[in-house]
Chain A
Amino acid sequence: MRYPFPVGAVDFIQGDEAIARAAILAGCRFYAGYPITPASEIFEAMSIYMPLVDGVSIQMEDEIGSIAAVIGASWAGAKSMTATSGPGFSLMMENLGYAIMTETPLVLVNVQRSGPSTGQPTLAAQGDLMQAIWGTHGDHSLIVLTPATVQEAFDMTIKAFNLAEKYRTPVILLTDAEVGHMRERVYAPHPDELELIYRKLPANEEEANYPFGDIHGDLVPPMPVFGKGHHTYVTGLTHDEKGRPKTVQSEIHEKLIKRIVEKIEKNKKDIVDYEAYELEDAEIVIISFGIVARSAMRAVKELRKKGIKAGLLKLNVLWPFDFELIERIAERVEKIYVVEMNLGQLYHMVKEGANGKAPVELIPKIGGEIHTPKEIIERIKDNLRWG
């Protein structure tokens, strides 16, 4: 197969472009979107690539329609993706819930900008973390990945498709304007180097009759795509294992929603990913994610030079969240700092994880600029000085 960009090669590209290329390599053949800064470049790259690889890229009337089309395409058998930023992400919450409820694999990229509302369209922020996890109504779970570099944006896009297909769930790639618009060196693997996962299809008619039942005991039902003669009925209403609406039976609702939550929670070990830097003997630990984790990394290096035993936990997956990992770290350190580009969102999850075993302090920043390493160092040093 021919690709409209170099594969098995190094290139110098934007994060947004890297996400588009990785999606094509992951087998994505349907993209629907709506223009929005700073995610438009993903759409524009997809618009160039898709017709060349016999895929579809279509501009919808809004972000509600974009994610709807993506869900429809997924049920028609295509690996599908959309990308947006804050205002569009808010519009997508409705059908993100539909995708969770109907267990539809898809990848939703949020290139974060400052909000609320129109905010700062061209500047980076990390203010959509809680929305990514909890933005759609009702009890639910999903997967949220977050890259800090253009290479990670590339690699995590492929991972996002693999996880979406493996667990029959929407996966959010939560990045930001900085990673999206920055150009960096990226290695795009040759397709032969990639391990791609495709959704489990029903092995026989009996399996196809239970598109929402845990028939393999792994909490992930095979997905009978449309047009294969299975006559599958898919609804956002509470449904039984066969997909029939059952809206007033509490036990059916509980069973369905618990399975949807547990299929993520019980596979936490497989999904969760992080980078630990100088954690072994650290007395002070910074927990961070995305672009600002790179500032935090630099801060840790500088603090070490000054003889301060600092370490970094860079989270690559924000949901499911490894609360136990945070507690294990809290048990052996003096203090945890959470560095994030918002007024405190990851902070609350870390605090819950730390479970009182170590004090947790927030180093927030908003306004579109990334924390400088100096700002992080000064704050930590001030605290050491004044106790």
Chain B
Amino acid sequence: MYLKSSYEIRDKYLRKDMLPTIFCPGCGIGAVLQYTLRAIDDLGLNQDEVVWVSGIGCSSRVPGYVNFDGLHTTHGRALAFATGIKMANPDLKVIAFMGDGDAAAIGGNHLIHAIRRNLDITVILINNFTYGMTGGQVAPTTPKGLRGTTAPYGSFENPFDIAELAVAAGANYVARWSVFNYLQGINSIKKALQKEGFTLVEFLSPCPISFGRRNKLKTAPELIKWYQKLSVPISKAKEMSPEELKGKVIIGEFIDRDRPSLVKEYEAYKKRAKKAMRWEE
């Protein structure tokens, strides 16, 4: 793959008057944003027809930095807002930029129902295992035993596997990578953007300031090395026993299918309605 210079991507897609970003040194959101913009650029998507939606949290600030239409909404609700945007104007391509707390805790119900409906949307999910913006509280993704300010002695709850959740709820495309897997990440986003229905690409993304610092992973390189240690490619995971997989994070493509999307289903529903009322043959 030919990679354009990041300056070219920056100049084409970022709002210069909104920079610098709020992101801390070592944060992974900027990297994932770059992958997303590169995917959009490679696909040649029309900037006027893409809408970015987000909720609340560090990653939810992304729509403010990109030169597209953007709706920065309330905590956890991005996908419900997106449902209205997409259904009212199906010509728009909708991207949701979400964090793990935003998507899987306060927005968990909106997430599973948007997936169940197979809403036409691409979710880019930044999973940093913590609530970064509010200062490092535990999230529904925090691995058991790791620390946050609201479980200072180590999380005592079971974490969610968001990618598996998305597969079970019925998504058309689900992949998970760490920010380190940049080529796979860009390719997955490209794939997701080209599909109808619900698509989700999750990224393990370093938060050294709020998460790493409390868990003996003080810098981004330490966190990335930790991700490498944690991750198991999905092909390899299939040959491993549940004991061997304990504490590991599976990365790769989880599902790639083409169930009919919400927009398609509603188009058919409108026809059904008109036929039922004898407005149309």
Chain A residues, Cβ within 8 Å of B89: 76-78, 226-227
Q: A72-B88, A76-B89 are in contact. Are A232 and B70 (CB under 8 A)?
A: yes
Residues of B within 8 A of A24 (CB): none
Complex Cα spacing A196 to B17, Å: 38
Secondary structure call for the B interface: helix
Contact B87 A232 (CB under 8 A): no
Q: Is the beta-carbon distance between A61 and B84 smaller than 8 angstroms?
A: no
Contacts of B69 in A (CB 8 A): 226-227, 230-233
Closest-by-CB residue of B relative to A237 is: B72
Question: Which B residue sits closest to A95, measured CB to CB?
Answer: B74
Main secondary structure of the interface of A (DSSP, over half): mixed
Q: Does B1 contact A (CB under 8 A)?
A: no
| In the complex with contacts A2-B279, A244-B64, A234-B88 CB distance below 8 A | no
A32 contacts B279, CB within 8 Å? no
* Candidates A78, A94, A95, A233; contact of B88 at CB < 8 Å: A78
A94 near B74 with CB under 8 A, answer yes
Task: Decide yes or no whether B82 CB sits under 8 A from chain A.
Answer: yes
* Residues in B whose Cβ lies below 8 Å from that of A235: 64, 72
> How far is A86 from B274 in the complex, measured between Cα atoms in Å?
34
Q: Contact at A68–B88, with CB atoms within 8 Å?
A: no
Residue of B nearest to A47 (CB): B273
A60 close to B (CB within 8 Å): yes
Residues of the B chain whose Cβ atoms lie less than 8 Å from the Cβ of A13: none
> With A51-B273, A244-B17 in contact, is A68–B113 under 8 Å at CB?
no
Closest chain B residue to A79 by CB distance? B88
Number of A-B pairs, beta carbon distance below 8 Å: 146
> Using a CB-CB cutoff of 8 Å, which residues 245-265 of chain A contact chain B?
245
Bound complex: CA A94 to CA B74 (Å): 8
B279: chain A residues within 8 A (beta carbon) = 2, 52
Q: How far is the CA of A226 from the CA of B93 in the complex (A)?
A: 11
- Give bound CA distance, A61 to B85, whole Å: 16
CA gap between A2 and B63 in the complex, in Å: 40
A280 CB to closest chain B CB, in angstroms? 49
Residues 212-241 of A contacting B (Cβ, < 8 Å): 226-237
| Residues in B whose Cβ lies below 8 Å from that of A193 | none
Which of A74, A98, A231 contacts B84 (CB under 8 A)?
Answer: A74
User: In the bound complex, what is the Cα–Cα distance between A177 and B91 (angstroms)?
Assistant: 39
A73 at the binding interface (Cβ < 8 Å): yes
8 Å CB interface, B91-108 against A: 91-92
B109 at the interface (CB under 8 A from A): yes
Interface residues of B in 107-129 (CB under 8 A from A): 109-110, 113
**Which A residues are in CB contact (< 8 Å) with B82?**
72
- Interface assignment of B51: CB less than 8 Å from any CB of chain A: yes
Q: Is the CB of B88 within 8 A of A73?
A: yes
Interface size on A, residues (CB 8 A): 46
The answer to whether A76 touches B109, judged by C-beta atoms less than 8 angstroms apart, is no
> Which residues on B sit within 8 Å (CB–CB) of A227?
48-49, 51, 69, 89, 91-92
Pair B83/A65 contact, Cβ less than 8 Å:
yes
| Smallest beta-carbon distance A147→chain B, Å | 26
Q: Are A72 and B85 in contact (CB under 8 A)?
A: yes
How many residues belonging to B are interface residues under a CB distance threshold of 8 Å?
43
B72 touches A68 (CB 8 A): no
Contact among A51, A60, A75 for B113, CB-based, below 8 A: A60
Q: Are A68 and B81 in contact (CB under 8 A)?
A: yes
Question: Is the CB of B156 closer than 8 A to any CB of chain A?
Answer: no
A54 in contact with B270 given A4-B277, A74-B84 (CB within 8 Å): yes
With both chains docked as a complex, state the minimum distance between the C-beta of B154 and any C-beta of chain A, in angstroms: 32
Bound form: Cα–Cα A200–B125 in Å = 36
Residues of A within 8 A of B15 (CB): 233
Asked whether, in the complex, the Cβ of A76 is within 8 Å of the Cβ of B85, the reply is yes
**Judging by beta carbons under 8 Å apart, are B84 and A32 in contact?**
yes
Q: Complex formed: what's the CA distance from A307 to B191 in Å?
A: 81
Q: Does A308 contact B (CB under 8 A)?
A: no
CB < 8 Å neighbour of A68 from B48, B51, B73, B273: B73
Is A160 among interface residues, defined by CB-CB distance under 8 A? no
Q: Which residues of A are found within 8 Å of B270, using beta-carbon distances?
A: 51-52, 54
Given that A76-B89, A235-B64 are known contacts, is A62 also in contact with B109, CB under 8 Å in the complex? yes
* Interface flag for A29 (CB, 8 Å): yes
Query: Is A64 an interface residue, CB under 8 A from the partner?
Result: yes
B18 touches A68 (CB 8 A): no
Check if A76 sits within 8 Å of B92, measured CB to CB: yes
Give CA–CA (A69, B94) in the complex, Å: 13
A17 vs chain B, min Cβ distance (A): 17
B220 at interface by CB-CB < 8 Å: no
Given the interface pairs A98-B74, A226-B51, the reply to whether A68 lies near B87 with Cβ below 8 Å is: no
- Cβ contact within 8 Å between A229 and B48: yes
Name B80's contact: one of A52, A72, A74, A77 (CB within 8 Å): A72
Taking a contact as CB atoms under 8 Å apart, the answer to whether A60 and B71 are in contact is no
Evaluate contact between B74 and A236: CB separation under 8 angstroms: yes
B18 CB, min distance to chain A CBs, angstroms:
6
Q: CB of B266 within 8 A of chain A?
A: yes
CB contacts (< 8 Å) of A226 on chain B: these are 51, 69, 71, 85, 89, 92
The 10 A-B residue pairs with the shortest CB-CB distance, nearest first, are A72-B84, A69-B84, A68-B80, A73-B84, A51-B273, A65-B80, A73-B88, A76-B88, A72-B81, A229-B48
Residues of A at the B interface (CB closer than 8 Å) are 2, 4, 29-30, 32, 48, 51-52, 54, 56, 58, 60-62, 64-66, 68-78, 80, 94-95, 98, 226-237, 244-245
23 A–B pairs (Cβ distance < 8 Å), ordered by A: A30-B88, A32-B83, A52-B270, A56-B266, A58-B87, A58-B266, A61-B80, A68-B80, A69-B81, A71-B81, A74-B84, A75-B85, A76-B89, A94-B74, A226-B71, A226-B92, A227-B49, A227-B51, A227-B91, A228-B48, A231-B68, A232-B70, A235-B64
- Given A58-B83, A65-B109, A77-B88; 7 other pairs, CB 8 A cutoff: A30-B87, A51-B273, A52-B273, A52-B274, A95-B77, A231-B68, A233-B15
